[in-house]
Amino acid sequence: MKKDVRKAIIAGNWKMNKTPSEAKALLEEIAPLVKDAGCEVVACVPYVDLATAIEATKGTNIKIGAENCHWAESGAFTGEISTGMLKEIGVEYVVLGHSERRQYFGETDETVNKRTKAALAAGLKPIVCVGELLWERECNITEEVVARQIKLDLWDVTEEELKNVTIAYEPVWAIGTGKTATAEQAEEVCAFIRECLKKLYNEAAAEAVTIQYGGSMNDKNADELLQKVNVDGGLIGGASLVAEKFAAIVAAATRN
């Protein structure tokens, strides 16, 4: 019950949207709307937008994140991007283990763990995504699924490293569907995730971790979700592509 010890983080996950020029325009629209935010504001953007995004947000309070990274420093991994490449251009955050990567690109807890370890070693801040499928929720195994993901994805992550980790609880059935988890459902699983972290680390370490909710979070439902004591922020897809909606969610995080 210690929301005040944690940093609230509102992060946009742009997914495969916006060309570099469109990214610049959107960030320039968002920047003045969120300049007085009382929370961390992050935009996670496609690889080719990163350099433009970093340039466009210089001197603002918006931090830039990537949507994935590889675990090797370099080598024969066609199409992949290393942590060193991201660091050198000034990227701070990286989304890892998003359900779309798990569903469509063969991401497993083992590869999420490798990417998480590499990101932390490079000084990046991973946003590690976990969450159950609709079928898993219907079978009443949400907690088992999430506990397993937390344990495996954070395998060998030290207590010191955990300080730079954000967890995003994203029920897969709520992503891009317009079907939001109720604030009670979100709180229930976010609180459970914190219990898992307590068991894996300790109470103080677990209380300090920012746990976001993601899945059709928008300007209308953000307040209710963010009022919950274990919901410390949001990972926003669709609504992060509309400046006013994203700014309204940032304002909700600032209020709560």
3-state SS, residue 140: coil
Quote the distance between the C-alpha of residue 157 and its chain's center: 17
Q: Does residue 107 belong to the site contacting ligand 13P (CB under 6 A)? A: no
Indicate which single residue of 131, 171, 214, 233 sits in contact with ligand 13P (rule: CB under 6 A). Answer: 214
Choose one: 17-25, 57-65, 219-227, 233-241; the region binding ligand 13P (CB under 6 A): 233-241
Catalytically annotated residues: 98, 170
How far is it, in rounded angstroms, from Cα 148 to Cα 146?
A: 5
From the number of C-beta atoms within 10 Å of its C-beta (0-12, 13-18, 19+), residue 118 rates as: buried
Question: What x-and-dash track marks residues 74-103 binding ligand 13P by CB under 6 A?
Answer: ------------------------x-----
How far is it, in rounded angstroms, from Cα 96 to Cα 118?
A: 11
Q: In angstroms, give the least distance from the CB of 204 to ligand 13P.
A: 28
Q: In angstroms, give the least distance from the CB of 169 to ligand 13P.
A: 11
3-state SS, residue 17: coil
Q: Does residue 233 belong to the site contacting ligand 13P (CB under 6 A)? A: no
Q: Does residue 13 belong to the site contacting ligand 13P (CB under 6 A)? A: yes
Residue 87, token pair as written in the block:
């660091």
DSSP state of 92: -
Choose one: 117-125, 143-151, 199-207, 211-219; the region binding ligand 13P (CB under 6 A): 211-219
E-only strand ranges, 35-108: 40-44, 62-66, 93-96
- Binding residues for ligand 13P, rule CB under 6 A, total 14
Q: In the complex, which residues of this chain contact ligand 13P (CB under 6 A)?
A: 13, 98, 170, 175-176, 214-217, 235-239
